[in-house]
Chains A and B, each alone.
Chain A
Amino acid sequence: MFPRPITQMSVPAQTLYKIAVPVALLLWLLPLLGVAMTSVRPASDLAQGNYFGLPSALAFENYAQVFQNTPMLQYMLNSFYVTIPTVIGALALSCMTGFALAVYRFPSNLIVFFMFVAGNFVPFQILMVPVRDLTLNLGMYNTWYGLALFHIAFQTGFCTLFMRNFIKALPFELIEAARVEGVSEWRIFWFIVIPLMRPAIAALSVLVFTFIWNDFFWATVLTTSAATQPVTAGLSSLNGQWIAQWHLVSAGSILAALPPVLMFFLMQRHFIAGLTLGAVK
């Protein structure tokens, strides 16, 4: 193990370490803690210059105010409308593409695979004008499904990379044996491979959920009104209206951050498994 386990060190060193970790964490999360604290600070505190001290009272009304006076609830709902179909769509498509690329040998296999991989790396800006135009022409501009369709397509690239590598690591004998038994390719996919892919599906669902929930660029490009904007774009436009009302900005920020944070804590193991794919050989 590297570095040397702290338990092999002297007692004072161990104590020092046990103090150092929470202190470091506190410093590391300072911007977050500051905003969390500001989000429950009464507006009067800010007016009196109490920016860092403890709030004079816990002002949960900041949150109430955000919900009552702004379309925050609508923004959050919109985010769910975009995110959930994207997760389902991208996973459905990439289970199939990943299966095709992992199980079959055909001449253009690697080329198709690397096209998915490379497409996944391109800057969004090179897609912006044509995708916006396409969405306009399809009559889906400024709708949640117009945004979700693009996300499904784009995320399929990343998910294919993940799924293909995952299926490739499964025991191929299973598929061989089924083929000898005369099981059709579709049934092999559905009854043999899909059940084995559960960990990959779980990992990708949380990852894609977080990516899409946090997407700002496409939300700005493809949606324009409060009725359809996801929370990231909504928060950005609210920020323009709430000049210097930091208690509201903070409450809005915390609300926007909450769903992916909850997702992360509930599905932590899967999340990290997905993110660190390929980090170990």
Chain B
Amino acid sequence: MPATGKLNQRKLAPWLFLAPGLLMFMIYVIIPIFQSMWISFYDWDGLGEARWIGTANYVELVDDDAFYTSLKNNVIWLLLYMLAVPAGLMIAIFLNQTITGMRLYKSLFFFPFVISQVVVGLMFSWFYAPNFGLFYSLIEWLTGSGVAILADDRYVTYGIIAAGLWPQIAYVMILYLTGLNNVAPDQVEAARLDGAKGWRMLWYVILPQLRPATFIAVVVTLLGALRSFDLVSIMTAGGPFGSSRVLSYYMFEQALSEYGYRMGYGAAIAVVLFAIMMIFISGFIWKMWRDETER
């Protein structure tokens, strides 16, 4: 084959390799994002004729109390979920030793992340169950009267977040354990000779070296917080009285549940959630882009 043929082959090849994956990704992920934005300007029940209503869905959203409850809960989720990062780091430091059976201990600590959130939600529902749940009994024993966490609109969101933190901390822990494994021993020894220990050692010597792990931990925790759907759905279905809704769940409720098939309104909620997420996504992408082009 002449040289030009080879070169042409090399020009064409990447697109042939990309075609199937790119096509699927376009059809199922990229295009639907824009379709959703488009649908958010319609009044549509998913079956009949869609009716263009301009920004009416968004106007409705501005006056929707349930929307604000969901938004507020999303903020609470985001803030409290970030606790997974220091908590995971602490457990990782606690476990970063070599005693017999440590490997098994580490994998058992990681266990909650492997389990489906549906199962985690059921476990915590049992844990919180009024009258006999372990947590309920503990509170009752401590204070004299139990609290039905999932039926009380003051505590319900926190109760669900606690359930979400359990697997999330496990995930962050494994990221940091891997990171700690790769901390340069000579730097630690040198710092030790200089008298660094404890918190100062952690802050000035260890954490800077753990930066890639921290970045990923923050990214997955933010995503986890904003994607929270399974736990809310399993543990409370948004209740009591909608007080534990988050945007992802409220969207589903509006678009696809017994409350009605308001696809347009649901899409508008999804667009808002997407916009919030986009703030973070563009941050990660910007950082990754910089790393890529610097190389």
Q: Do A and B bind each other?
A: yes
Instruction: List residues of A whose CB falls within 8 A of some B CB.
Output: 1-7, 14, 17-18, 21-22, 24-25, 28-32, 34-35, 38, 49, 51-52, 93-94, 96-97, 99-101, 103-104, 106, 109-110, 112, 114-119, 121-134, 149-150, 152-154, 156-157, 160, 179, 182, 184-186, 189, 210, 213-214, 216-217, 220-221, 232, 235-236, 239, 246, 249-250, 253, 256-257, 260-261, 263-265, 268, 272, 275-276, 278-281
22 A-B residue pairs with Cβ-Cβ distance under 8 Å, sorted by A, are A1-B183, A18-B99, A29-B112, A31-B126, A31-B166, A49-B132, A96-B18, A100-B13, A104-B13, A110-B292, A116-B25, A124-B229, A125-B269, A126-B270, A157-B29, A185-B13, A216-B116, A232-B118, A236-B234, A246-B126, A249-B122, A264-B107
In the complex, are the beta carbons of A97 and B134 less than 8 A apart? no
By the criterion CB–CB under 8 Å, are B289 and A110 in contact?
Answer: yes
Contact A214 B273 (CB under 8 A): no
Complex contacts, A132 vs chain B, CB 8 Å = 46, 256
- Complex Cα distance A184/B105, Å? 49
B39 to chain A, nearest CB (A): 6
**In the complex, chain A residues whose CB is within 8 Å of the CB of B96:** 1-3
CA separation between A124 and B251, bound complex, in Å?
10
A157 touches B285 (CB 8 A): no
Q: Which of B1, B32, B99, B117 contacts A216 (CB 8 A)?
A: B117
Query: Is there contact, CB below 8 Å, between A122 and B132?
Result: no
Given contacts A2-B202, A149-B28, A278-B212, contact A253 B119 (CB under 8 A): yes
B111: interface (CB < 8 Å): yes
* Interface positions of B from 64 to 89, Cβ below 8 Å from A: none
The closest CB in chain A to the CB of B234 belongs to: A236
> Which residues does chain A contribute within 8 Å of B98, judged by CB atoms?
5, 7
B280 / chain A contacts, CB cutoff of 8 Å: 121
Q: A17-B97, A126-B270 are in contact. Are A216 and B230 (CB under 8 A)?
A: yes
The reply to whether B273 and A123 form a contact with Cβ atoms under 8 Å apart is yes
CB neighbours (8 Å) of A97 from chain B are 17-18, 21-22
B residues bordering A, Cβ < 8 Å? 1, 6, 9-11, 13-15, 17-18, 20-22, 24-25, 27-33, 35-36, 39, 46, 93-99, 102, 105, 107-112, 114-120, 122-124, 126-127, 129, 132, 134, 137, 166, 171, 174-176, 178-183, 185, 188, 192, 197, 201-202, 205-206, 212-213, 216, 223, 226-227, 229-230, 233-234, 247-248, 251-252, 255-256, 263, 266-267, 269-271, 273-274, 277, 280-281, 284-285, 288-289, 292-293
